[in-house]
Structure 1
Amino acid sequence: MSPSPARYDAVADFYVSGWPDSIDDPASLRLLSLAEPIAGRRILDLACGHGRITRELARRRAIVTGVDISGALLARARLAERESALGVTYVHADVTAPEQPWLSMSPYDVVTCNFGLSDIDDLDAAVTAAARALRPGGTFVCSILHPCFPGGHHVSGSWPEGGRYHDEGWWRADAELSSLRRQVGANHRTLSTYLNTFRRHGLRLDVLAEPEPPEDWTAGRQDAARHPVFLVARCVKDG
């Protein structure tokens, strides 16, 4: 059974146009560096969207499967695969569903999730799927908006304006420069919630990085750039 319509289905055109194939943002570059070695390894890209990271992993000669709940975004990913085949397998599925037939393709050497965890309402179920997909000693690499990012002028932070860092839950941004999260919202969780969830599922923190945003982003958001904006983590599955 296909998953129900996803939040990104309604904004697929906007999302694809705003996040093209070029991988030049510091958070995605750090995620890719922490996924190394890539060539020849089996990699699962969770919440793969239109396949931006998935395709880059394949270009680096990984054997890649991408999974996403958005049929509209996956249609773009499959179109790109038909136009320039890289051998990527795409699966339309809700990674938090109790039955996961696509996990029969496990185990993977690496699971990646680039800015996807805050879009997923059930973090525990998503991390369960990531841990199940990995072989012992495999790595889980993810990037997110930093849970401690308070925002700035015309830029929404990780939690609602007027709210508190410790208040978790889904919300929709309203700042002028937070164009994507104004449309699809995001789940705010504390840093400890993320790290404790990883550890509870046998994913031991190995590397934590806080890459700075690019200069063109910082130039128009200097007050926001005084704070940590991105968080990238690599965890290793217990043997």
Structure 2
Amino acid sequence: MPNAARYDDVAGFYAAGWSDDVDDPASVRLLDLLGPLEGRRVLDVACGHGRISRALARRGAAVVGVDLSSALIEKAWAAERETPVGIRYVHADATEFGPSDATGPDGVGVFDAVVCAFGLSDIDDLEGAVATVARTLSPGGVFACSILHPCFPGGQGVSGSWPGDARYHGEGWWRADGERSTLRRQVGANHRTLSTYVNTLRRHGLWLDEMDEPEPAQEWAATRPDAARFPVFLVMRCVRR
């Protein structure tokens, strides 16, 4: 199923469930890794309904958000029309984001930073997505991303990063079945090993500069103590060489 359709079908559910509050541990750390944003040009890949895009803009960045889901992009534009913060949203496949949008006349990337918040596992073509990140970044630019930890095995009612009847090393798209994994039951996800992510980044000149495994929020962990024993989130910062 094309991932445009996956999210078009759940756009209302997704926007209602993930508000503009960015005080969850993974989002806080993601924004921290970017450093000061005032005056910087930032691309938000798989921006969805614009939650992180708006957080970036409120911190002074000039933001472009791109997403494959027309339904989510429309929600992002609706928020921009209601409360303008200067974000430009583009309905496009991030793996084919055009050079005219992403590079200057000399072919060099025009963005100081690229962000992808929990979107890489939604993109079927990881190689294409990372190539776009590398192409759009200026030399020395930063790529920061957050993902469900590839090594997270799940817990009672919480699906992990790979199917419960499969192996960690078995990569591919799958749909969660955990009763508490409300989004992934509907849209699925691509499981990839940690080494696949890191090696793909390096292949495209994105060198891992810092990584973190923030613990989940206390209220989440309190009701999922078995799952909270394991690393749940992974946040990484890479530098474009």
* Residue in structure 1 matched with residue 132 of structure 2 by the alignment: 129
Cα gap change, 1:4/1:113 in structure 2, threshold over 3 Å: closer, same or farther? Answer: closer
Cα deviation code 1:216-235 (max 9, x no counterpart) = 10011000000000000000
Question: Alpha carbons of 1:206 and 1:160: their partners in 2 closer, same or farther (altered >3 Å)?
Answer: same
* RMSD, aligned CA: 1.4
| CA distance in 2 between partners of 1:90 and 1:29 (Å) | 23
Local SS of the residue matching 1:73? helix
Q: Distance in 2 between matches of 1:175 and 1:60?
A: 36
* Partner residue, 1:43: 42
Number of aligned positions between the proteins: 236
Find the partner of 2:188 among 185, 189, 198: 185
Could you list the runs of 5+ residues in structure 2 that have no partner in the other structure? none
Give the CA deviation at 1:103.
2.0
Question: Residue 25 of structure 1 aligns with which residue?
Answer: 24
User: Would you say the 8 A contact 1:91–1:102 is kept in 2?
Assistant: no
Matched residues, percent identical? Answer: 64
**2:228 alignment partner AA:** A
Structure 2 equivalent of residue 206 of structure 1 = 209
Whole-Å separation in 1 of the counterparts to 2:4 and 2:40: 32
Distance 1:184 1:41 in 2: 33
Shift of 1:24: 1.1
CA change 1:33–1:128 in 2 (3 A) is same
Alignment of 1:135-174 (within 5 A): 135-174=138-177
Query: In structure 1, how many angstroms separate the alpha carbons of the residues matched to 2:218 and 2:52?
Result: 22
Structure 1's unaligned 5+ residue stretches are: none
For 1:224, the equivalent position in structure 2 comes to 227
Structure 1 residue 36: Cα displacement? 1.1
- Is residue 96–residue 132 contact of structure 2 (8 Å, CA) maintained in 1? no
Using the alignment, how far apart are the partners of 1:43 and 1:50 within structure 2?
Answer: 16
| Equivalent pair of 1:55/1:88 in contact (CA under 8 Å) | yes
Letter in 2 for 1:56: A
CA distance in 1, matches of 2:167, 2:18: 30
Q: Distance in 2 between matches of 1:121 and 1:49?
A: 16
For residue 221 of structure 2, what is the amino acid of its counterpart? T
Partner of 1:96, secondary structure, is helix
Does 2:102 match 1:103? yes
2:233 is aligned with 1:196: no
8 Å CA contact retained: 1:103, 1:133: yes
Q: Give the match's secondary structure for 1:126.
A: helix
SS at match of 1:152: coil
CA contact (8 A) 2:103 2:135 kept: no
Asked whether 1:52 is paired with 2:55, we answer no
Could you tell me how far 1:5 is from its partner in structure 2?
4.0
1:48-93 deviation per Cα after TM superposition (whole angstroms, max 9, x unaligned): 0000000010000100000000000010100000010000010000
Please report the TM-score for the alignment, with normalisation by the length of structure 2.
0.95
TM-score (norm 1): 0.96
